C-alpha cells in the first residue's frame, strides 16, 4: 500500500507493514509520538533489535525504532546503578559499565538486544543463584497510553514497577531503565563435551558445579556440549585466536551453517553430521564477563524455549530425547538447557519458582511445526511457560493458568493502556482482550 513501509525481524520469519517508522532521540519525542497516535487513534509499537522470533514487535500502526535512543543518562557509583535510555544495546551497555568498573550480573547468549526489548520478554542467561536481566531493574520511566510519564520503583508506583519489568511492550513505552549492576568481574570458562546421561543423573550437582552452567544436548548422539563459567578476579587469558576462529566460525557459525544447509537439503545425513559436533575438544579461558557470556550468532535459526520447574528438567529432557528418536525428527541444532533463580515479576517465566529452561532450535527455513508442537505438549504437562520472544503456539486462556499473578498484570495493563494503544495481534493472542 502507498505510504506503507516494511519491517522484518532478525530471524526473517516475522514482518509487518507499519504506517510509519519513527526514530526518536529524546523522551519528549516519545511523548509526542504517543500523544499524536492517541489523537489519530492509531497503534504504537516499539522495536528494539528485532531479535524476537515471535511477532511481538510487529505493528499495523506506528513503529518506534529506538536505535538512536541509547545513551547512559545516570550513574550512581555508591549504589552501582546506571540509568540508560531504552534503546541501548546490551553490548554498548556492557562497554559503558566496564568503563565505570561495573558489569551486568548475568547475560544470555548474545548482546545485540536492546535493554528494553530484552527485559520486555524476560531474557535470561543461566545460573543456579542468578535471576534474569529484568530482575536487576530497580527503576524505570514509562510513557502510558495517554502520553503521561510515570516513574516506577519498588516504592513509587510499586504495582507498575512489578509488572513493567517484564511488560511485553504492552504497558507503554519504556523510556529509561535503571539497572542494578555489580562490580566488574571476569569469568573462567570450561567448555567440553560430556555424556548427557551423566549430567542428568546428577542434574542439580552438575548445574550448581559453577556459577553459570548450561549444556546443549546434541540430537542423534548421547553427547552434550557443556559450558561452565566461574566468576573470578583472576587475570584474563582469552581464548586462543585459532580456537576462537574454529569455535565461532566453524562450529557455531559459518561451518555449522554449512552443515545445517546440507542437513536441510538431505535430512538423512543429519545423524552423521551430528557426530562431528561433540568432537570439538575441551577449551578453557578467562575473559571479561560479557565476552564469555555472549558470542556472535551468524547462523540464523528459529527457536522455541520453555520454562518449567527446575526439578522436572531431567525427566522432561529425556522425554524430548525420546520424542526425537521415536518420531524420527532429523535435527542439526542442539537442544539447550539452562537454569535461573526464581523472581517476583508477574509475567516472568521464572516467577515464583526455581526454573529450568529447555530450548529447541531449527535452522532457518526448516519446517518446525511437528517438532516444536511435540516439545510444547511435553512442556505443557509441566505447566511450562513459553519465552515471550520465542516461538510457541499458546494463547491467553492457557497462559493465564500458568501465571499465578496474571490478574495483577492485567490490572496494570488496563490502567496504563485502556484503549489498547500498545497492543498488536500477538499481544491480543497471548494477553487477550483488555479488561475494564
Ligand X SMILES: Cc1cc2nc3c(=O)[nH]c(=O)nc-3n(C[C@H](O)[C@H](O)[C@H](O)COP(=O)(O)OP(=O)(O)OC[C@H]3O[C@@H](n4cnc5c(N)ncnc54)[C@H](O)[C@@H]3O)c2cc1C
- Rounded to a whole number of angstroms, the minimum distance from the CB of residue 174 to ligand X is 4
Choice from 63, 82, 86, 292 touching ligand X (CB under 6 A): 86
Q: Point out which span in 104-112, 197-205, 313-321, 377-385 binds ligand X (CB under 6 A).
A: 104-112
Q: Counting contacts by CB under 6 A, is residue 51 touching ligand X? A: yes
Q: Point out which span in 47-55, 153-161, 182-190, 404-412 binds ligand X (CB under 6 A).
A: 47-55
CB nearer to ligand X: pick between 125 and 193 = 125
As a whole number of angstroms, the distance between CA 33 and CA 424 comes to 17
CB nearer to ligand X: pick between 110 and 360 = 110
Q: Counting contacts by CB under 6 A, is residue 10 touching ligand X? A: yes
Q: Check: CB of residue 239 under 8 Å from CB of residue 247.
A: yes
CB nearer to ligand X: pick between 120 and 320 = 120
As a whole number of angstroms, the distance between CA 396 and CA 146 comes to 25
Binding string, 245-284, against ligand X, x = CB under 6 A? ----------------------------------------
Q: Counting contacts by CB under 6 A, is residue 61 touching ligand X? A: no
- Rounded to a whole number of angstroms, the minimum distance from the CB of residue 189 to ligand X is 16
User: Cell triple for residue 30?
Assistant: 516519545
As a whole number of angstroms, the distance between CA 389 and CA 132 comes to 14
Q: Measured between alpha carbons, how far is residue 123 from residues 157, 245, 387 in Å?
A: 23, 27, 8
Give the three-class secondary structure for 412: helix
Q: Check: CB of residue 47 under 8 Å from CB of residue 422.
A: no
Helix, strand, coil percent values for the chain (each to nearest 5): 35, 25, 40
- Rounded to a whole number of angstroms, the minimum distance from the CB of residue 429 to ligand X is 13
Reference 206, options 378, 337, 354; nearest CA is 337
Instruction: List, in sequence order, every residue forming a beta bridge with 30; answer none if it has no partner.
Output: none
CB nearer to ligand X: pick between 124 and 321 = 124
Q: Counting contacts by CB under 6 A, is residue 113 touching ligand X? A: yes
Q: Counting contacts by CB under 6 A, is residue 416 touching ligand X? A: no
Q: Counting contacts by CB under 6 A, is residue 57 touching ligand X? A: yes
Query: How much is the CA Rg of the chain, to the nearest whole Å?
Result: 21
Q: Point out which span in 18-26, 112-120, 244-252, 313-321 binds ligand X (CB under 6 A).
A: 112-120
- Rounded to a whole number of angstroms, the minimum distance from the CB of residue 101 to ligand X is 25
As a whole number of angstroms, the distance between CA 217 and CA 297 comes to 18
Q: Counting contacts by CB under 6 A, is residue 124 touching ligand X? A: yes
As a whole number of angstroms, the distance between CA 129 and CA 163 comes to 22
Dump the DSSP string for 284-341: EEEEEHHHHH-----S-EEEEEEEEEGGGHHHHHHHHHHHHHHHT----S-EEEEEE-
- Rounded to a whole number of angstroms, the minimum distance from the CB of residue 293 to ligand X is 9
Q: Counting contacts by CB under 6 A, is residue 117 touching ligand X? A: yes
Give the three-class secondary structure for 26: coil
CB nearer to ligand X: pick between 86 and 259 = 86
Q: Counting contacts by CB under 6 A, is residue 118 touching ligand X? A: yes
Choice from 62, 116, 307, 308 touching ligand X (CB under 6 A): 116
Reference 288, options 80, 111, 48, 77; nearest CA is 111
Reference 412, options 154, 162, 160, 149; nearest CA is 160
CB nearer to ligand X: pick between 319 and 387 = 387
User: Cell triple for residue 221?
Assistant: 548422539
Strands (E), 1-121: 7-8, 15-16, 20-22, 44-47, 62-65, 72-76, 81-85, 102-103
Q: Point out which span in 36-44, 52-60, 72-80, 184-192 binds ligand X (CB under 6 A).
A: 52-60
- Rounded to a whole number of angstroms, the minimum distance from the CB of residue 197 to ligand X is 25
Q: Counting contacts by CB under 6 A, is residue 219 touching ligand X? A: no
How many residues bind to ligand X according to rule CB under 6 A?
A: 33
As a whole number of angstroms, the distance between CA 34 and CA 381 comes to 41
CB nearer to ligand X: pick between 318 and 415 = 415
Q: Counting contacts by CB under 6 A, is residue 168 touching ligand X? A: yes
Tell me which residues touch ligand X (CB under 6 A).
Answer: 10-11, 45-52, 56-57, 66, 86, 108-110, 113-114, 116-118, 120-121, 123-124, 168-169, 173-174, 297, 387, 389
Amino acid at each position: 500500500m502507498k505510504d506503507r513501509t516494511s519491517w522484518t525481524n532478525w530471524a526473517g520469519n516475522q514482518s509487518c507493514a507499519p504506517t510509519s517508522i519513527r526514530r526518536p532521540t529524546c523522551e519528549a519525542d516519545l511523548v509526542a509520538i504517543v500523544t499524536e497516535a492517541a489523537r489519530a487513534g492509531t497503534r504504537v509499537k516499539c522495536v528494539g533489535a528485532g531479535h524476537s522470533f515471535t511477532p511481538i514487535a510487529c505493528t499495523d500502526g506506528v513503529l518506534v525504532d529506538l536505535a538512536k535512543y541509547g545513551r547512559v543518562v545516570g550513574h550512581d557509583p555508591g549504589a552501582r546503578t546506571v540509568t540508560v535510555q531504552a534503546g541501548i544495546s546490551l553490548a554498548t551497555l556492557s562497554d559503558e559499565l566496564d568503563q565505570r568498573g561495573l558489569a551486568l550480573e548475568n547475560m544470555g547468549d548474545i548482546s545485540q538486544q536492546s535493554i528494553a526489548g530484552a527485559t520486555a520478554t524476560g531474557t535470561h542467561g543461566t545460573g543456579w543463584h542468578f535471576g534474569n536481566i529484568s530482575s536487576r531493574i530497580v527503576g524505570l520511566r514509562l510513557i502510558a497510553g495517554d502520553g503521561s510519564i510515570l516513574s516506577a520503583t519498588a516504592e513509587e508506583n510499586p504495582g507498575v514497577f512489578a509488572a513493567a519489568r517484564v511488560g511485553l511492550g504492552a504497558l507503554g513505552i519504556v523510556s529509561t531503565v535503571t539497572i542494578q549492576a555489580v562490580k566488574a568481574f571476569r569469568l573462567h570458562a570450561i567448555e567440553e563435551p560430556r555424556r548427557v546421561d551423566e549430567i542428568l543423573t546428577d542434574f542439580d550437582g552438575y548445574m550448581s558445579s559453577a556459577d553459570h552452567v548450561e549444556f546443549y544436548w546434541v540430537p542423534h548422539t548421547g553427547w552434550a556440549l557443556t559450558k561452565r563459567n566461574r566468576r573470578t578476579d583472576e587475570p584474563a587469558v582469552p581464548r586462543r585466536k585459532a580456537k576462537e576462529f574454529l569455535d565461532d566460525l566453524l562450529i557455531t557459525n559459518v561451518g555449522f551453517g554449512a552443515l545445517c544447509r546440507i542437513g536441510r537439503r538431505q535430512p538423512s545425513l543429519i545423524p552423521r553430521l551430528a557426530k562431528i559436533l561433540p568432537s570439538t575438544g575441551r577449551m578453557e579461558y578467562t575473559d571479561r564477563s560479557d565476552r564469555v557470556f555472549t558470542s556472535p550468532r551468524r547462523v540464523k535459526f528459529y527457536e522455541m524455549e520453555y520454562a518449567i520447574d527446575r526439578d522436572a528438567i531431567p525427566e522432561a529432557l529425556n522425554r524430548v530425547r525420546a520424542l526425537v528418536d521415536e518420531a524420527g525428527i532429523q535435527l542439526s541444532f542442539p537442544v539447550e538447557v539452562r537454569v535461573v533463580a526464581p523472581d517476583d515479576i508477574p509475567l516472568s517465566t521464572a516467577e515464583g519458582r526455581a526454573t529450568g529452561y529447555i530450548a529447541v532450535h531449527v535452522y532457518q527455513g526448516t519446517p518446525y511445526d511437528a517438532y516444536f508442537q511435540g516439545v510444547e505438549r511435553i512442556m505443557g504437562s509441566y505447566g511450562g511457560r513459553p519465552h515471550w520472544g520465542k516461538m510457541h503456539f499458546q494463547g491467553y486462556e492457557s497462559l493465564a493458568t500458568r501465571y499465578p499473578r496474571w490478574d495483577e498484570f492485567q490490572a496494570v495493563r488496563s490502567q496504563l493502556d485502556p484503549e489498547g494503544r500498545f497492543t498488536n495481534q500477538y499481544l491480543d493472542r497471548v494477553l487477550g482482550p483488555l479488561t475494564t
